């Protein structure tokens, strides 16, 4: 059986420095972001086998919701796609590790609910006794030559990417700072306004990201699509925010002003993002969430699980009901 020992964020710093985190969401700066933004308590667990060999780590945070201690890895509203385990060996026993984390969370951390999403876990390998929810990911194999990636787009996707380069816009990589996220958020507000909605998070969340990643600029890609006028004055008409670490990049957010859509800035930004991470050897690109427009890039559909453990039966039911209430309120406000 696997043994669990809680360790400190210093251990995660070393794992991050050695590039052992398979995804940016397992890295120290992202945990620091969640610690600040979600008022979370980081939980770094060292996992060892019966021979006392360290086989991996678990990364998560404890938060309180309605007075209930929850171990999330990640949890709803964190803008975090997946966390889970840092594995050192291919024969890492997922079911044993999950059970060990669950038992530690209930007994040692006094948590009543555990939620884990790790895209390296296959639904087929999980114990039938676990409660799960399958989710679908749109994924691009970003390790191929660029010509192959472009040729794999749909006909409309290839057309729009090529057309965007002829529209006169300029794509710029800019620092990930408070100035960039303000522009990005202003455009995000405009995107949501088309549906009579407001973004489901505030500007503070983005500023907290900036603070957390100020010493880790290589993990963030901030892009602007700029349109110059006849006098050379430049207008930022669209933006993309992307993070990467280990072998995964994430298309975490894109925003643009409605009045400039004819210039196809989002297509130009997407292609620039793909080229950037491809040049750095990042092999996998998660498009983060299903949206119709993303299908033009002909992504693969990949399914992986959200895994739930509840110490008190009914907590998952209550959580799902609460989420439906929030969604209903948002719809009523339209």
Q: How confident is the model over 276-308, as pLDDT tens digits?
A: 999 999 999 999 988 889 999 999 999 999 999
Domains of the chain: 3-134+303-332 (3.40.630.30), 143-282 (3.40.630.30)
Q: Is the pLDDT of residue 331 over 70?
A: no
CA angle in degrees (0–180, nearest 5) for 124-127-133: 65
Say how far apart CA 74 and CA 94 lie, in whole Å: 17
Count of beta carbons in the 10 Å neighbourhood of residue 34: 27
pTM here is 0.93
Q: Is there a contact between 237 and 169 (Cβ–Cβ < 8 Å)?
A: yes
Q: Is the pLDDT of residue 334 over 60?
A: no
Looking at per-residue pLDDT, the higher value among 197 and 116 belongs to: 116
Q: Is the pLDDT of residue 38 over 60?
A: yes
Q: Is the pLDDT of residue 85 over 60?
A: yes
Say how far apart CA 313 and CA 320 lie, in whole Å: 13
Predicted pLDDT at 197: 84
The token pair at 170 is 């300029």
Q: Dihedral of CA 72/76/77/79: which sign?
A: positive
Predicted pLDDT at 231: 78
Q: Model confidence at 326, in pLDDT bands (50, 70, 90)?
A: low
Say how far apart CA 318 and CA 83 lie, in whole Å: 23
Q: What single string gives the DSSP state of each residue in 207-234? A: HHHHHHTTT-GGGEEEEEEEEE-TTS-E
Share of the chain above pLDDT 70, in %: 96
Please enumerate in sequence order all residues whose Cβ is within 8 A of that of 111, keeping only pairs 6 or more positions apart, or say none: 62, 69, 70, 71, 105, 311
Predicted pLDDT at 328: 54
**What is the mean predicted confidence (pLDDT) over 145-172?**
94
What does DSSP assign to residue 281? T
Q: Model confidence at 1, in pLDDT bands (50, 70, 90)?
A: confident
Q: Model confidence at 332, in pLDDT bands (50, 70, 90)?
A: low
Mean pLDDT for all residues in the chain: 93
Q: Is the pLDDT of residue 315 over 90?
A: no
């Amino acid at each position: 059986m696997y043994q669990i020992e809680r360790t400190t964020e210093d251990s995660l710093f070393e794992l991050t420095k050695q590039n052992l985190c398979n995804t940016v969401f397992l890295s120290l700066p992202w945990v620091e972001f969640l610690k600040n933004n979600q008022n979370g308590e980081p939980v770094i667990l060292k996992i060892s086998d019966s021979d006392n060999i360290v086989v991996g780590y678990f990364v998560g945070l404890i938060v309180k919701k309605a007075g209930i201690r929850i171990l999330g890895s990640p949890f709803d509203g964190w803008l975090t796609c997946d966390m889970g385990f840092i594995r050192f060996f291919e024969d890492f026993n997922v079911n044993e590790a999950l059970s060990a984390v669950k038992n530690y969370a209930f007994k040692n951390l006094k948590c009543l609910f555990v939620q884990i999403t790790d895209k390296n876990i296959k639904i087929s390998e999980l114990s039938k006794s676990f409660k799960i929810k399958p989710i679908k990911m749109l994924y691009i194999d970003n390790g191929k030559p660029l010509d192959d990636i472009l040729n794999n787009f749909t006909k409309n996707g290839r057309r729009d990417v090529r057309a965007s380069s002829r529209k006169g816009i300029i794509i710029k990589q800019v620092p990930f700072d408070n100035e960039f996220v303000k522009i990005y958020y202003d455009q995000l507000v405009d995107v949501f306004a088309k549906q009579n909605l407001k973004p489901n998070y505030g500007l503070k969340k983005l500023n907290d990201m900036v603070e957390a990643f100020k010493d880790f600029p290589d993990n963030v890609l901030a892009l602007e699509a700029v349109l110059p006028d006849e006098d050379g004055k430049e207008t930022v008409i669209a933006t993309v925010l992307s993070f990467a670490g280990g072998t995964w990049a994430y298309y975490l957010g894109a925003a643009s002003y409605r009045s400039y859509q004819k210039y196809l800035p989002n297509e130009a930004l997407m292609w620039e993002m793909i080229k950037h991470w491809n040049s750095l050897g990042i092999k996998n690109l998660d498009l983060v969430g299903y949206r119709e427009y993303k299908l033009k890039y002909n992504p693969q559909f990949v399914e992986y699980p959200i895994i739930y453990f509840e110490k008190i039966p009914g907590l998952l039911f209550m959580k799902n009901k609460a989420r439906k209430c929030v969604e209903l309120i948002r719809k009523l406000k339209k």
